[in-house]
Amino acid sequence: MSPSVLVVNDGNVVESTDKKTTQDDITRATKSAVLHRSLHADPLQVVSAQGNYLYLSNGQKIFDATGGAAVSCLGHGDVRVQEALIDQMSQVSYCHSLFFATRAPEELAKLLIASTYNEMSRAFFICSGSEAIEAALKLARQYHLEKPHPEPSRTHFISRQQSFHGTTLGALSAGGHAARRAIFEPILSANTSRVSPCYAYRGLNGILDSEAAYVRRLEAELDAEFQRVGPKKVAAFIAEPVVGAALGCVPSVPGYFKAVRRVCDKYGALLIMDEIMSGAGRAGPEPSERYPKPLHAWQDPSVGVTPDLMTMGKGLGGGFMPVAALLASKTIVETLKMGSGAFSHGQTYQGHPLACRAALEVQKIIQQDDLVANVRKQGALLGRLLKEKLAAIPAVGDVRGKGLFWGVEFVMNKRTKEPFDPALGVAMGVHELGMQPPFNISLYPGTGTADGRKGDHVIIAPAYNITADDVRHIVDTTVAVIRQYFLQNHRDWLLSTLGDVEAPPPSQNINKPRK
C-alpha cells in the first residue's frame, strides 16, 4: 500500500498508513466476493436484528448505540414498516418517474412539507444523502439561471472546514474534510471554498471571548470570503445545523445561523441546510410558538432561520430502505415555474415507491408515537450522564450534542486540547474494543476532528424510542470501554498524566440481560 494513500476504514474513519501489503495480508485475504471496506478482513456478519440489538454469526449480541450511522431511528425490525413495505410491493415496486407517479412519494412529500409548516414547497426523493447534496447544488445553480434577472456567474459554493456532505465528487467538493478529499483533490471542483466551522470547543477563546463575539468573528470571516470570491459568484453556502460525522455532533452557538443568513441575503446567495445526519428528529429540536411540533434541526430556536434548500437522509427512512430527500422553498419552486418549468435533473430510482413508502411509515410512526419528545427527554439524560461520568477521564476533552446525537472528543491534553497522533487510531480503537465482550456495544468512530486530519471522536446516536434504562446502559458501557481502552493501549500516557492508575471495575450493567 502506498504511504501517500488515505484509507477510509468505515463511514467516518480515515487513516494514512506507511504499511505495505505483506504476504500475510494476502494469505488472510477475505473469501468474500463483495468489495468490502477492507480487502484484508471480512466484516462481522449480522444474521438478525431486533430493537436495539444486532445478532452476529459468531453468537454475539451487540447493542447498537449509533443506529449504524445515525440511521436506525426506530431500532431494528419494526413490524409496522415491514407490513407497509409488503403492502407496497403488492401494489407496485417500481415505475419510471419520467412517465408515472405513485401514491407513496406524493403522501411522503405532503407529510414532509407539512412538517416544515409549509416553509418548503416541493420534495425530491432519491436514494442517498450524497445524491441529495448533488441535487441541491444543481438546483441552486439552476435557480440563479432562471431568476427574473439571471446570474450565470454564480457557480461557487462556500462550506466549512471539517465538514462532510457526501462521497460523490460534487458532494465531496462541497465538503471540507481534508483527509477524505485528499486523494481525489485533482478531480474535485475548483468552484468551492471553505470558512471556519462554528465549533465552540476549539474556536471560542474561553473567558476572553463571548458567544456573541465568536459569532461576529465568524460572520466577518464569511463576509470576507464572499468578498474574496466575488459576491456575484457565490451560488450558496452549505452547512449542517449540528455537524455530524466530521466533528462529532457539534451544534452551532445561538445566533450563528442568523449571522450566516444575513451574509447570504446581503449578497444574494442561497442557504443550504444539510440535515442528512442531524435531521428527521435526531437533534430533538425544541418546540416554539412558530413550530410547536418541530422535526427539523433548523426549527430549533437556537438556529432561528429557514433554509432555501434542505436535505434529509438517514433518519428519514430509518434504514428500512435507501432513501433521502431534497426540499425546496417556495421561492425556488416559483422561480422554476416561471422559467423552464422543470428541474433539470433526474435519476432512475428517484421517487422509488418502496423507498418512499418506508420513509412515509417511519415518519408517521415518529409523529404518532411522539418520538421527538422522547428524543428530547432521553437526549437530555444521555448528555447529562455522559458529561458527569466522563469528566474525570483525562483523554476526554469534550462531550457535546443535541437530542439523541452526542459526540465524545478525545485529546492528549485537556488544557491545550492537543489531539492524539492519527497513527494511534484512537477512535477506531475505542470502537473495536466496544465491539468485544464483555462490552458488546457499537460506537461510531470519527477522525479529523481537530483540523480535518488530526483528532478523534465517537458518536452515540441510538434509536428514538429508547428508554431511560437503555440510556444508562449506553453510558455505563461507553464509560467502561473508554477507560479500558486507554488503560490497555496508552497506560504510560495515563501514568504520566495522573500518576498510578488502577484498572476500573467492570460496569455491573454491562452483562445485565436486556429486554
What nine digits make up the cell of 431? 470502537
Rounded to two decimals, what is the model's pTM? 0.90
Domain ranges (residues) in the chain = 21-75+372-498, 121-347
The CA distance from 250 to 407, in Å, is 8
pLDDT computed for residue 6 by the predictor: 44
Q: What is the pLDDT of residues 23-33, one digit of tens each?
A: 555 555 568 88
The CA distance from 325 to 316, in Å, is 8
DSSP-assigned letter for residue 124: E
Q: What is the pLDDT of residues 237-260, one digit of tens each?
A: 999 999 999 999 999 999 999 999
Range with the poorest average pLDDT among 70-74, 207-211, 300-304, 407-411: 207-211
Element holding 131 (H helix, E strand) = helix 129-146
Q: Predicted confidence band at 486 (pLDDT cuts at 50, 70, 90)?
A: very high
Q: Which of 74, 27, 151, 28 has its CA nearest to residue 363?
A: 74
pLDDT computed for residue 21 by the predictor: 57
- Give yes or no for a contact between 250 and 399, defined as CB atoms under 8 angstroms apart: no
Q: Which of 42, 8, 43 has its CA nearest to residue 28?
A: 42
Q: What is the pLDDT of residues 149-185, one digit of tens each?
A: 999 999 999 999 988 898 888 988 898 888 888 888 8
Top-level class of domain 121-347:
alpha beta
Range with the poorest average pLDDT among 14-28, 210-224, 385-399: 14-28
| Complete edge-to-edge strand list for the sheet that includes strand 120-126 | 120-126, 324-329, 309-312, 270-275, 234-239, 156-160, 192-195
> DSSP secondary structure string, 360-391?
HHHHHHHHHTTHHHHHHHHHHHHHHHHHHHHT
Statement: residue 376 has pLDDT above 50: yes
Q: Which of 379, 392, 406, 383 has its CA nearest to residue 482?
A: 392
* Mean pLDDT, range 205-214, rounded to an integer: 83
How long, in residues, is the chain? 515
Q: Which CATH architecture has domain 21-75+372-498?
A: Alpha-Beta Complex (3.90)
**CA Rg, the chain, in Å?**
23
pLDDT computed for residue 180 by the predictor: 85
> DSSP secondary structure string, 285-337?
PPP-SS-SS--SGGGSTTT----SEEEE-GGGTTTSS--EEEEEEHHHHHHHH
Helices (H), 339-467: 353-368, 371-390, 426-434
- What b/e sequence results for 174-196 when a residue is b if at least 16 CB atoms lie within 10 Å of its CB, and e otherwise? bbbbbbbbeeeeeeeeebbebbb
Dihedral of CA atoms 392, 394, 397, 398 in degrees, nearest 10, equals -20
